[in-house]
A and B are shown apart, each in its own frame.
Chain A
């Protein structure tokens, strides 16, 4: 995973509410066995709408996406995060995110920034013509007009994002703790300790 500390540049002023992962990447794009190349399918239906922000050259390759409430709801497909990355988006700013999407984004080094609706409204305005600056270290979003919005982020996630840490490797280092849980659970909850293979 690539470390991420600072994202600055153009921001796609999408703003729509309840954008589900079927909208971010429709199911027929999920038939892949790799993580690459999904940017082409990103927001496929939205791209057909006249005047949409995704086919407008102004925001081609923009690293930031500004969206509405409940971004990434619906299906758990991590392809949504891969599609955003493939488009070049490494930061999404919205009033709220679905739980599964924000986890998937984090695991792919995409920063999700939750800000109140008023801040989103302001960023939507600014993004039409100007860049936005997101700094993870200081947890702030700034504009060229002295706007300054601070955001919250889980300390562990921040640490992992800043250092590009591999979570699987980190947890595997706790193999002993997992082993002792398994030994304890085998006594306490023996009926959960085995499934498809008889003891």
Chain B
């Protein structure tokens, strides 16, 4: 084993090498695998066809999230309410059948623990610091907020992990994103990551694993770190990492699948040893001043199209790169925006607070804090708050947040991926705008023709109240 100073990423990598090939490709052991209904049917089908079992069903967890409607799933008699879309129903049935057939623990659509894969992984203590974690979903990067090496994989890789509990990988380069200073009032983890993506671009992290360093991340809650790491993929990085520390241990301790007793002590000792060594170097670094980060929104169809809420819609000519100018032109046409328009003059008709990026209890609290004593604006036609899991939902209800949300005129839903992607009934109509706490503002992402503006839960709640993109710091106090 090397004695040279190593980064957090290198330490986790080194601890998981099963075999190294001459060309440097490594067979890497996977500690945790989460399976959902969209990217797994073909993988299970291939295993079945080849007569291959799942090597470690005990390291695998299955849960449906993408296709599930966020309306009631059981009628008053406890019977399943049929899913209208036959294809969605077919995918859900496939997972419900495949998981037990291969010996995998399955959390069902109406179980209290059900939720979005990347919310329940950490919540259940299934995702752990220092672990290698995969799922057929690019936002698996989310789990890096715990200090786990977590990344999304395709269906062929899902099959590979199910059959062998390993993946063939080449080591990534390392990218340090350091944010230091004091975040201003109203600036949340979501604003931090949107600002970071605006700075480094959607291809800035391609080929790299990002490590988020600096006092801003050290002082951030684990839920905030999950939000940040979640969008590493929007910066092109397959994974993000925040070094595990006392805040992390406090979060993990006592969760259902977290280590207990002697194992817990051993785990903490190892987790403490994972922080990047003094003298270790990153392949590249970027430094960002916390004071430069404003409440941030997107105006275009790429997550790098960000601006502080005080800004205006840019013009294609504002960009030096010719292909970016072309992309901005397409974006603005699609978004129906005119250069020079103040962002706070942009009206929204839909509000979505949820997704694996922002559906944890702190997110629901932040939205409720803004909504308390206020009402949804008249021009907002559809506004939903979708908790990330059944447990988040129960916690929010115990705190009375559901009532605050519904009193403000927003809907309170069942957990799932919802309007983050147009795979279930929650969609944004063509030509309409949505203030959304999700992670992607791609063309058609929330439904064909939908126009997405990404932002934090507090900012989305503020938009619900005014019917426009709004600086949450400017809302008049509730009297």
Task: Give A residues with C-beta under 8 Å from B.
Answer: 16-18, 20, 22-23, 26-28, 30-35, 44-45, 68-70, 73-78, 81, 96, 98-100, 103-104, 107-108, 154-156, 167-169, 171-172, 174-175, 177-178, 181-182, 185, 188-192, 194-197
Contact = CB atoms under 8 A, between A and B. Distances in A.
Contact of A31 (B90, B131, B168, B448): B90
Q: Give the top 6 A-B pairs by smallest Cβ distance, nearest first.
A: A191-B259, A31-B87, A78-B154, A107-B156, A104-B154, A33-B41
Contacts of B206: 70, 73, 96, 98-99
Contacts of B207: 99
A28 B172 CA distance: 32
A99 B238 contact: yes
B203 A96 contact: yes
Contacts of B50: 168-169
B102 interface: no
A125 to B, nearest CB: 15
B19 A174 contact: yes
Contact of A28 (B91, B263, B422): B422
B27 A174 contact: yes
B152 A18 contact: no
Contact of B160 (A20, A167, A181): A167
Contacts of A74: 138, 233-234, 440, 442
Interface in B71-127: 85, 87-88, 90-91, 94, 105, 126
B197 to A, nearest CB: 12
Nearest to B18: A181
A23 B440 CA distance: 12
Contact of A45 (B27, B159, B257, B444): B444
Contact of A73 (B21, B163, B202): B202
A99 to B, nearest CB: 5
B442 A22 contact: yes
Contacts of A189: 15, 130, 270
Contacts of A70: 202-203, 206, 236
B52 A168 contact: yes
Interface in B158-175: 159-160, 163-166, 168, 170, 172
Contacts of B21: 156
B248 interface: no
Given A189-B270, A191-B266, A31 B126 contact: no
B164 A172 contact: yes
Contacts of A23: 442-444
A190 B58 contact: no
B361 to A, nearest CB: 23
Interface of B: 15, 18-19, 21, 23, 25, 27, 29, 31-32, 38-39, 41-42, 45-46, 50, 52, 55, 57-61, 66-67, 85, 87-88, 90-91, 94, 105, 126, 128, 130-131, 136-138, 151-157, 159-160, 163-166, 168, 170, 172, 202-203, 206-207, 233-234, 236, 238, 257, 259, 263-264, 266-267, 270, 302, 323-324, 326-327, 421-423, 440, 442-445, 448
Contact of B163 (A45, A96, A108, A172): A172
B67 to A, nearest CB: 7
A192 B31 contact: yes
B58 A81 contact: no
Nearest to B172: A99
Contacts of B155: 78, 104
Contact of B91 (A31, A68, A77, A181): A31
Contacts of A17: 323-324, 326-327
Contacts of A35: 42
Given A27-B422, A103-B157, A197-B105, 10 more contacts: A23-B442, A70-B236, A76-B152, A78-B154, A100-B138, A100-B151, A154-B23, A154-B25, A182-B165, A192-B130
Contacts, number: 208
B163 A26 contact: no
User: Counting chain A CB atoms within 10 Å of each CB, which of B39, B87, B155 scores highest?
Assistant: B155
Nearest to B330: A16
Contacts of B236: 70, 73, 98
Contacts of B445: 22, 27
A103 B259 contact: no
Contacts of A18: 202-203, 302, 327
Contacts of A75: 137-138, 152, 421, 440
A104 B156 CA distance: 7
Contact of B90 (A33, A155, A171, A197): A33
B18 A78 contact: no
Contacts of A192: 31, 128, 130-131
Contacts of A107: 154, 156-157
9 contacts: A18-B302, A30-B66, A68-B323, A73-B203, A76-B39, A78-B154, A99-B238, A103-B154, A171-B164
Contact of B67 (A31, A34, A174): A31
A77 B94 contact: no
User: Counting chain B CB atoms within 10 Å of each CB, which of A78, A81, A96 scores highest?
Assistant: A78
Contact of B88 (A31, A68, A154, A177): A31
A167 B66 CA distance: 28
A32 B87 contact: yes
Contacts of A188: 15
Contacts of A103: 153-154, 157
A104 B105 CA distance: 27
B233 A174 contact: no
B27 A171 contact: yes
Contact of B444 (A22, A32, A78): A22
A63 B266 CA distance: 54
A168 B163 contact: yes
Nearest to B29: A181
Nearest to A34: B42
Contact of B443 (A22, A30, A169, A194): A22
Contacts of B55: 178
